[in-house]
Structure 1
Amino acid sequence: MTGFRDFEWFVAVDWSGAQGARHKAITMAIAHADGGPPVLVERKRGWARSEVLAVLRDKLPANSLVGLDLGIALPFADAGAYFPGWDRSPADARSLWRMIDAVCEGDDHLSASSFVDHPVASAYFRRHGGREGELFAPQGEAGGRGRFRITERAQEAVGCKPYSNFNLVGAAQVGKSSLTGMRVLHALDGSIPVWPVDPLPREGSVIVEIYTALAAMAAGRSASRSKVRFREELDIALINLGSAPIGGTGPMDDHSSDALMTAAWLRKVAGNIALWAPEGMNRRIAQTEGWTFGVP
């Protein structure tokens, strides 16, 4: 790959915010700049979130672009705060990560249950059992889809169907993944820049937020058909992304296909300068809400 900023490795992590120590839903794939098919980095019993953290902190290949399938922050711009009306509401993304981790210090496996059940913070979330906080919806609205970041509105504009990070209900929700992911980002303690909260470094590794549906759409699939569950379909998607196929036939889980396809997509698009300077993002949005890499 050539471009304004070259990476050697491309790592995609399909994340999970579920309870428990290990998760089959957490998958990691890696692709090399020189080509070839992306490869799964497997754990027989499934990945623990702490193991992914250890890889990012201590075992990541040099000069890697790492995509994490989670939201790196909560909505801020719509109300001028993550938690409008709460005097403890953090001022930026790193302060948000620190707050969540502090509240959840006693939660095992980098989970975030203590935060969503916090006596004040819970008012801003939609939780299971029909428990919708009185501050979940945007001001003046009742119920609905909840609050969104600027990048999520931009996702909608290109055909994606994002969920609010304040929504913790439903198979497609990303709220739990995002909150647990923020604990990981805090634990990294600045050892790897997280774009765009941090500027894109001239060299070395960097973490970005990804949305696997963007990779699927770039591979010729629609947002409603973004999940790939057969190896033959994955190979078609990989070829469309300019990657060598993985080969083989038969079913495969969509978490693995998401990671493999997105690693290949990162390799294809990382040199596109425009994706590092999206039109709707300014410095304030970058430091409070972040952005999804690949959204123009």
Structure 2
Amino acid sequence: MAPDRFARFVAIDWSGAVGARQRGIAVAECTPGTAAPSLVRPGHIWSRHDVLEWVLAAPAASLIGFDLGPSLPFRDAGAFFPGWDDSPPDAKALWALVDRLCAEDPHLAATSFVDHVEASRHFRRHGGRTGDRFGTGRGRLRVTEHAQRAQGMSPYSNMNLVGAAQVGKSSLTGMRLLHRLDGRLPVWPFDADPGHGSLVVEIYTSIAARDAGRPKGRSKMRDIAALNAALAVLGSEAVPGTGEIDDHSSDALLTAAWLRANAHRAELWHPPALTPAIAATEGWTFGVT
């Protein structure tokens, strides 16, 4: 990747929560160099549609990272939903299916999908409702999530919708957004990098925190001093201010700086396990080798 490929680096901490606007969404950006990252629309309570509109209008040549799972496990069972005749053949068809079944759900929610009679069999849901095809333990993992575990991370299955660490709701609502980006902005690795213009990738904010020196299990930063110490490790100038900061904002700010520091690394764009089949079905987390 050429060092000057991108003119802006954006990190978006996403949310799958119910409602029109989400306090769990934060958007941060930075430009090449060492200047501190900054929040986009500080104080704004974002809706998922707000984010969609902002991304589509973002300046050209932006590398835009979303902290969500853009797909579900496929390789382990040869299908997203083994035993279901309508199981999609690839990730883009999965996005379309989720969006179609959730057409009546407002705010890009995905409630109708996880309540679907066939889809629900594959998810762990609230109220002790674990589908008979969910699997065991943390549930099924994508190949990139197995690679995350090998690198010391603790990923959860995108099929899990329960608990503070669940990522399934963020993933499914994110798929509805990605379906709307399809054909308008490339999403790596489902789409190849065209070498110009903006590009969307999946990020995992814990990787940025690890690379910035945060101890395992303490990736969240809730004060400006801790955030600035982590930013310094990444070669970034400090953000202004003192005192508390919410962890969604600090995750986005740190990961924007991390994208800037790592986007040029060729090995992150060509991990050995990322085959064409994996790229089309499960995708990959940028930063995982």
- In the TM superposition, what is the alpha-carbon distance from 1:98 to its structure 2 partner? 0.3
> How far is 1:24 from its partner?
0.9
Distance 2:95 2:268 in 1: 25
- Of 176, 179, 200, 2:172 maps to 179
Aligned ranges for residues 213-292 of structure 1 at < 5 Å?
Answer: 213-292=206-285
The change in CA–CA distance for 1:43 and 1:230 in structure 2 (over 3 A counts) is: closer
1:71 to 55, 69, 72: 69
Q: Give, in angstroms, the shift of residue 4 of structure 1.
A: 5.7
SS of alignment partner, residue 217 of structure 2 = helix
Deviations 1:163-188 (A, max 9, x none): 00000001111100000000000011
Structure 1, 282-291 or 181-190: larger mean CA deviation: 181-190
SS of equivalent residue, structure 1 residue 224: coil
Structure-2 residue corresponding to 1:39? 38
Q: What SS does the aligned partner of 1:61 have? A: coil
Aligned to 2:176, the other structure's residue is in SS state helix
How far apart, in 2, do the equivalents of 1:4 and 1:235 lie? 24
Counterpart Cα distance in 2 of 1:131 and 1:227:
30
Residue type of the alignment partner of 1:33: P
2: CA distance, partners of 1:43 / 1:5: 28
TM superposition shift of 1:190? 1.6
Deviation at 1:6, TM superposition (A): 1.4
Report the TM-score, using the length of structure 1 for normalisation: 0.96
Instruction: Please tell me the residue identity of whatever aligns with 1:244.
Output: E
Deviation, structure 1 residue 45: 4.7
* AA of the residue aligned to 1:164: S
8 Å CA contact 2:134, 2:159 repeated in 1: yes
Corresponding residue number in structure 2 for 1:115: 113
Q: Which residue of 1 aligns with 2:88?
A: 90
Q: How does 1:92-241 map to 2 (within 5 A)?
A: 92-137=90-135, 143-241=136-234
Deviation at 1:43, TM superposition (A): 5.5
Structure 1 alignment gaps of length 5 or more = 138-142
Unaligned ranges ≥5, structure 2: none
Q: Offset of 1:251 from its aligned partner?
A: 1.1
- Change over 3 Å in CA distance of 1:182–1:54 after alignment to 2: same
Write out per-residue CA displacement over residues 218-254 of structure 1, whole angstroms, 9 at most, x where no aligned residue.
1011231110111000000001001111032211100
- How far did residue 148 of structure 1 move? 0.3
Once residues 216 and 167 of structure 2 are traced to their aligned partners in structure 1, the CA distance between those partners, rounded to angstroms, is: 16
RMSD: 1.1
Write the deviation string for residues 115-169 of structure 1: whole angstroms up to 9, x where unpaired: 00001100000000110000000xxxxx311100000000001111000000000
Q: Using a 3 Å threshold, how does the CA distance of structure 1 residues 81 and 11 change in structure 2: closer, same or farther? A: same
Deviations 1:179-224 (A, max 9, x none): 0000000011321100000111211110000000000001011231
CA distance in 1, matches of 2:3, 2:192: 14
Post-superposition CA distance 1:1-40 (Å, at most 9, x none): x836610000000000000000111000000013310000
Q: Do the aligned partners of 1:232 and 1:247 also contact (CA within 8 Å) in 2?
A: no
Q: Distance in 1 between matches of 2:86 and 2:16?
A: 24
- Does the Cα contact within 8 Å between 2:224 and 2:244 map onto a contact in 1? yes
